[in-house]
Structure 1
Amino acid sequence: MSAETVTIVRFHQLGGPEVLQLDELALPEPGEGEVRLRVKAIGLNRAEVMFRQGKYLYQPELPSLLGYEASGIVEAVGPNVDPTWLGKIASTVPSFHLTRYGVYGEVAIVPATALAEYPASLSFEEGTSIWMQYITAYGALIPAAKLTKGDFVLITAASSSVGLAAIEIAKAEGAISIATTRTSAKKTELLSFGADHVIATEEEDLVARVHEITGGKGARVVFDPIAGKGLETLAAATAVQGIIVEYGALAPEPTPFPLFASLSKQLTIRGYTLFEIVTQPELFTAAKKYVFDHLASGDLKPRIDKTFPLAEIVAAHRYMESNAQIGKIVVTV
């Protein structure tokens, strides 16, 4: 083990942003199948807030690392890892459990299988803002919902990085996006980003507006990270034989099943996370190619909302919890 120490972000108890602390630890060495990434930028995700709070799909083991997405330079490889990775610029794909790996820090140990190269035209900040948002949106809209040209797709929480990714993918596929946001404050920016329609849900009747936009048919595809009681409203806005893809649980209350709307419209309501893509090699390869090719062509361009230095990781998490952002929050190292 090297005598060098590095700054790694960990939390020793569950709670708010203030539980995150900068720990000085010995430089870690990669083990079997692992690499060490010298981190240049970190992309924040809502899942990491939930994990820190103990509200995620699985519970942290304290003290815990944190973080799915980082970009940087591969500086060391473990046994049975292709040595040609050394010196390459890459970013991490969220394909591992946060109970074992985390990327918040000056370096990150990650599985080599979680590395992906991205177009050289992208900065480190853009390179860390790719895989969570684009694979999440791609997997839900393309393999799951089979989005096609002319489809109406309702995208809730549209100002999030995943929501913006869904707007871009809908446009690339020739679909018509209907983005939602709580107030009109973000409406202009969402339209300028490419949303075909924007509904401010605290100011407008969501179901009435969707039916107005779709000529009374409703949206064939709904892409939602909120769930809760709002699922009943989304079902009312969905077309006959439409599909609602739930990829999160941001609502604080339980989620009732919209039985009568499902029966009368023959709806499909399915849960989804990007892990169903990244754990299947063929789907994972197809997803990475789709994202890389569309990044290279310019169809996809990650939007960076705000950057923070690593020393201000607590402030970065506070900002994420404020919901003020439009796009990705990035921490630079």
Structure 2
Amino acid sequence: MSTIPKTHLISGFENQGSYEEIKTLEVEAPQITTGSDVIIKNKYAGLNFIDGYFRQGVYPSTVRPYIFGREASGVVAAVGKDVTKFKVGDSVAYLSGNTFAQYTKIPETYTQILNLGSGSLSEKEYETYGGIFLQGLTALTFVNDAYKVKKDDFILVWAAAGGVGTFLTQFAAQKGANVIGVASTSEKLEKVKKLGAKYVINYKTEDVVARVKEITGGKGVIATFDSVGKASFETSLEALSRKGTFVSYGNSSGVVPPLAITRLSPKNITLLRPQLFGYIVEKDEWEHYSKFLVDSVKSGKVEFEITKIYPLSEYAQAAKDLESGTTTGKLVVKIPQ
């Protein structure tokens, strides 16, 4: 067991609200209190829209201060006396709350963690592992579990140049699907094409439904992966074909209003609101998907790009950049050591 300092730095909020509520705070650091505790000293943590939803009050939270972060890479800094699967010095990557912090505590039994061994990783590897899992695994589980993408399917991917969108585009294209990528600029659309999208639509200058009908010969897409939410819901619904599947998974433009379930009947539409964690509860599920993702990135089969790294103290600006809709790829924060 190594010594953990009494306090550590975190990024979080005391009050829900605007970007001004984001604070860098010095708070009590987690300590070993049971034999099964594992404490990780974080190196890099990925930005994700879900933190904005908690900050804005879209999702409830009660613990204060609320600590941002849902994924990270780092090094095991301390373990309880009964821990056998981890030792001090092991490099790890994992999914968990409270990762925008110098230290995070999890139990040894926690399943959503990948032990990368005792050898020190390169800085680039820590960067990659710190930001790959939440968005990469979301996309991977969605194209296999939420809707099982098949060869020749016509698939609509919203925000296709964003974090989850880039993974969705690549994984669906690799399955032989005809990916229709939706984005807001010509630069983003060019990127989406390079990732494997067969068709692209600029939603700011084109009629998405009209283009989808043109591309699909009037039938519509068999599945839409929609992270935008309120602003795109009706468009996604209209763009779907008979027996189509609507995978709604984000609120970047606002929460989708309540709808009458009978609206799904005319085309026998399946509507899902999945979350990643429902697909990786069991250890074998986590291991299957996480290893597939890591192997895909290592082998170059899937492109993963970290476009900007922010110091933890500048998370407020990072959140503004992410939520503005102007970024591409993955944003991460570097945790002070």
Aligned match for 1:115, one of 99, 113, 116 = 113
Distance 1:260 1:229, change over 3 A: farther
Aligned match for 1:40, one of 23, 34, 43 = 43
Distance in 2 of aligned mates of 1:20 and 1:79:
36
Distance in 1 of aligned mates of 2:312 and 2:232:
36
CA RMSD of aligned residues (A): 2.4
Distance in 2 of aligned mates of 1:177 and 1:171:
6
Corresponding letter in the other structure for 2:54: F
In the TM superposition, what whole-angstrom CA distance separates every residue of 1:284-315 from its partner, at most 9, and x where no partner exists? 33322322332233222321121111222222
Q: CA deviation at 1:258?
A: 7.5
Distance in 1 of aligned mates of 2:82 and 2:228:
41
Distance in 2 of aligned mates of 1:178 and 1:307:
29
- SS in structure 2 opposite 1:150? coil
Q: CA deviation at 1:189?
A: 2.3
Distance 1:261 1:150, change over 3 A: farther
Residue pair 1:93, 1:116 contacting (<8 A) in 2 also? no
Instruction: Calculate the TM-score normalised by the size of structure 2.
Output: 0.87
Identity %: 31
Distance in 1 of aligned mates of 2:92 and 2:32:
16
The farther-off stretch of 241-250 and 253-262 is 253-262
Distance in 2 of aligned mates of 1:306 and 1:147:
31
Residue number in structure 1 paired with 2:86:
84
Corresponding letter in the other structure for 1:204: E
Residue pair 1:231, 1:256 contacting (<8 A) in 2 also? no
How does 1:228-239 map onto structure 2 within 5 Å?
A: 228=230, 230-239=232-241
Residue number in structure 2 paired with 1:52:
55
Distance in 1 of aligned mates of 2:152 and 2:49:
30
Structure 1: stretches of 5+ with no match in the other structure: 95-100
Distance in 1 of aligned mates of 2:37 and 2:235:
45
Residue number in structure 2 paired with 1:319:
321
Distance 1:30 1:243, change over 3 A: farther
Corresponding letter in the other structure for 2:56: Q
Residue pair 1:156, 1:179 contacting (<8 A) in 2 also? yes
- SS in structure 1 opposite 2:253? coil
Structure 2: stretches of 5+ with no match in the other structure: none
Residue number in structure 1 paired with 2:197:
195
Residue number in structure 2 paired with 1:97:
none
Alignment length (residue pairs): 326
Residue pair 1:20, 1:314 contacting (<8 A) in 2 also? yes
Q: CA deviation at 1:250?
A: 2.9
Distance in 1 of aligned mates of 2:50 and 2:25:
22
Q: CA deviation at 1:35?
A: 1.8
Residue number in structure 1 paired with 2:299:
297
Corresponding letter in the other structure for 1:277: Y
- SS in structure 1 opposite 2:44? strand
